[in-house]
Structure 1
Amino acid sequence: MENQENKVGFTNFAENLNGRLAMLGFVIAVATELMTGKGILAQLGLM
């Protein structure tokens, strides 16, 4: 944490965190679909 300049915007830390959270959300969505037998849109009542 020596370089404490850019804390807002498109930083490497922000992009890595965003990618990891997106991967986690995708895995949770697929696991939920497998457990319930319904798609994500059906679970939300959109289909």
Structure 2
Amino acid sequence: MEEQNRNNFKFGFTEGAENWNGRLAMIGFVTALIIELVSGQGLLHFWGLM
């Protein structure tokens, strides 16, 4: 049986999808925190949605 590299990016429901989903979620969360710290506003206020 051939072992798959879970870090390869492939579309669809693959074994590595959970890894990529988690990584992108962490990047988004850190980006939202940085915007809050720099602007002094929440993310929705920064974008003018509230």
The TM-score with structure 1 as length reference comes to 0.73
How far apart are residue 29 of structure 1 and its match?
A: 0.5
In structure 2, runs of 5+ residues without a counterpart are 5-9
In structure 1, runs of 5+ residues without a counterpart are none
What is the percent sequence identity of the aligned residues?
A: 59
Count of residues in Structure 1 that have an aligned counterpart in Structure 2: 44
Which of 8, 15, 20 matches 1:17? 20
Distance (whole Å) between structure 2 residues aligned to residue 9 and residue 16 of structure 1: 13
**What does residue 31 of structure 2 align with?**
28
User: Hey, which of these two has a bigger chunk of helix by percent?
Assistant: 1
